[in-house]
Structure formats: C-alpha cells, structure tokens
Amino acid sequence: MRRIVAASVVLLCAGAMSLGWVLARKLTSAVGSRTFDLRLRDMETDGDRRLLILDRTRSTAAPGIFSLWFETGEWVQVSDEVIDRGPGQIARVVTHAASGRLPSLGASFSWSGIYFDGPAAAGLSVREVFITTPAGPAPAWLADGEHRAATWAIHVHGMGGRRRGTLRGVQVTAELGWTSLVVSFRNDGEGPSVEKGRSTLGYSEADDVEAAVEYAVKQGAERIVLFGWSLGAAIALRVADRMRSAGVIAALVLDSPVLSWIEVIEANCVRSGLPAVAGRLSLPWLTLDPLARVAGLPGAISLREMDWIERARDLTVPTLILHGNRDDSVPPAVSEALRDRRPGFVELVAFAAGHSMAWNSDPERWRSSVSAWLSTVVVD
C-alpha cells in the first residue's frame, strides 16, 4: 500500500511539474503568426454601404470600431454599428478597405483592436530610426512634434503585437504637439531576435525601452511620458522604476496593464478551462534560474519586481490607467486595486470593453480622457 501511495505521489508531482513547464513555455512562447479563426459568411449592400455578415461571437458583436485582418492580406475597418442577423450572425458596416475591395466569401480573418495598418492610415507622418539596444538595433517610428518638442511620448506595444498597435495613442500625443517614439524591442517580431526568441514578460525587454529613453534624452527630450499597452505597460513600469533617479519620466499612460503576472497567469488559466491555482505551477519555471533555463529562457524572471500591487508604494510617477471591464485576459480588478492603494496618484478610467479594446469601444472618450489628464500632470 505504501508503495502505491508513494508511486501516486511521484506521478502527481511529475504531472504538476509537466503542466507547469507547459504553461511557462506557452506564456513565454516566441511570436507566432496571426490566428485567422473567423470566416466571412456573406456580404450585402445597403445603398452605398457594404455589410459583412459574420458569425456572432463576443468579439464580433462588441460595440466599437475594429479591424478585420484577412489571411489573403486584405485589411478592413468596420464601424460601431452592430446589425442583428438572428441568433447566430451579425452584420458590420465597412468604413474602409485598404485595397479598395473586399475579400471573397469564406475568407478567413482575425478580429482585431489594432485599428491602423501603419502610420499613414492613422494620419501620422513618421520616419524610421534605429535605437541601439543591448539586444541590437531596434527599429522605431519617430514622429516629430512642433519645433522638436521638449516633451516626448514613448509608445510600447503589448505581447504578440507590433508597433502599429500603439498608433491609437500616438494620435493623441501628435495632437498635443509632442514628439513621439514608437518602439520595438527584442523578440517582438520587429526588433532584434535574441536567445531562443522567447518573451521574458517585460523583464529583459525593459533594457531595450530604457535605451529608447536614453535616445530621446540625447535628442533633446526634457520629460518623457511612457505609454504602455498590456505587456508594454509592464515594461513601462519597469523602466520608470529603474530610471527614477534620472527624473526624466514625467507620467505613465497604461492601457489594460499587466500589473501582476501571477494574477494574469491565473486569469488566463481560468479562461482556458483550468483552475486558477494551476497557474502557480508555472512559477518555478519562470522564477528559478535552473528551471527557467530548462524552459528555454535566458534566466530567471523576477515576477516580484513586476508586481505593482505589492509594490504600489514604489510607484513614483503619476499614472493613468485605461481598462475594459470585460477584460478576461488581464483582470481589471488588479487595476482597481492599484488605484485604491494609491488614490489621487493613480487614476483609472473604465470602459465597456475587452482586453486592449478600450480605445476601440469609445475612441473620443479615450482620447479626451488621456488629453485632459496629461494637461494636469505634464507641464510642457
């Protein structure tokens, strides 16, 4: 009997370790190709309007303006109008098709909050520059402000995204007349590729964004506002923490921010049908150096250093958070907790939106919230 119990314990431990390894690998996996998991079911015309008939999902029926990225290469923007087509389908109105034409019926596409396919589509004029980072040269878009403004904004995208994902925020800083730097970083699909291409959840990527801050200072920036989206927020917080003595970071604007990786890991386990506690099994593979290396990482990640609920008192710059209350990837309750721990220093604006979709759900409110807040905390 004792042998059976011992064998069972060994098997349970081995299973738990294996599951932890799988979760850690998935969480830090290299950037892959976009998933085209939806299909264009039909098309209609209504006067001069073109309508796309889509399966009803939580994403496709969400209020707001969005983009459809098709496997065939087409890129289409749709309006905030959601037209009912029965229990299983809805129609969305096309506002712009990049190629001037729509894809064929049955074409596979990805639903996205990344609304612009590049700076020109967002009405922005930029030039490409390269930031010298510890990982190698990283491309960035530089949008000059009025008379090369002394206030700069540095925009940091999220996990699996690209620079174009931040253009929603760059429009605001362009209207303010600030200079904007839209950066890439190691292993994001645009920046330099290092090690095995895996993410370190913002821990090492912060080195590259810190190099971007130093670039901006050398170019004349006197104060910098860091914009971070999801993972990009974790990076921005780490950069602001490490550069606090320099006194150059004036404020943080964070959309759907990762403030505690443990909370995020648990939330994504639940979303995948696993118990939240299963997420804890990944922690040794992320935080213990020998296991982290076995999991394909260059070394251990200090999740404690990036836990801004526990470290709320260490936050040294005014922070604006924009977060959707339907976010099942990065819990909005964590943003609420940080606001409650630092009242008056951290401001939270909630939207009826999913992860990184706050801007899409109400672009004007997002823009006005950011502009109004920045006008009170940043003296240009």
At residue 86, the pLDDT reads 86
pLDDT tier, 8 (very low <50, low <70, confident <90, very high otherwise)? very low
Confidence (pLDDT) at 347: 98
What is the pLDDT confidence band of residue 195, given thresholds at 50, 70 and 90? Answer: confident
Rounded Cα gap, residues 210 and 237, in angstroms: 11
Q: pLDDT at residue 2 above 80? A: no
What local confidence, expressed as pLDDT, does residue 13 receive?
44
CB 339 within 8 A of CB 321: yes
Question: CB neighbours (10 Å) of residue 355?
Answer: 19
| Distance from C-alpha of 71 to C-alpha of 104, rounded to nearest angstrom | 11
The mean per-residue pLDDT over the stretch 285-294 comes to 95
Q: What is the mean pLDDT of residues 198-208?
A: 97
Report which residue type is found at 57. Answer: T
Q: With a cut of 70, say whether residue 15 has pLDDT above it.
A: no
pTM, to two decimals: 0.94
- Residue 187's nearest CA partner among 162, 167, 169 is 162
CB 202 within 8 A of CB 258: yes
Beta strands in 192-248 (DSSP E): 223-229
Place of tokens 């690209």: 162
Judged by average pLDDT, the poorest of 27-36, 63-72, 236-245 is 27-36
Looking at residues 165-190, what average pLDDT do you find?
96
Instruction: Give the whole-number percent of the chain exceeding pLDDT 90.
Output: 80
What are the pLDDT digits (tens) for 237-264? 999 999 988 889 999 999 999 999 999 9
Question: Quick one: pLDDT band at residue 6, thresholds 50, 70, 90?
Answer: very low
Q: What is the pLDDT of residues 45-63, one digit of tens each?
A: 888 899 999 999 999 999 9
Distance CA 172, CA 364 (A): 10
- What's the rounded mean pLDDT across residues 21-40? 89
Q: What is the mean pLDDT of the chain?
A: 92
Tell me, what's the pLDDT at 103?
Answer: 85
Residue 269 to residue 133: CA distance in whole angstroms: 34
- Nearest Cα to 168, choosing from 149, 155, 152, 187? 155
Q: Is the pLDDT of residue 335 over 80?
A: yes
Mean pLDDT in residue range 171-187: 96
Task: Please give the structure tokens belonging to residue 107.
Answer: 């074409």
- The order of strands in the sheet holding 151-156 is 127-133, 136-143, 179-183, 151-156, 223-229, 249-255, 319-324, 346-351
How far is CA 353 from each of CA 62, 129, 322, rounded to the nearest angstrom?
8, 34, 10
Is pLDDT at 147 greater than 90 in this prediction?
Answer: no
- pLDDT of 333 over the 50 cut: yes
* pLDDT tops 70 at residue 12: no
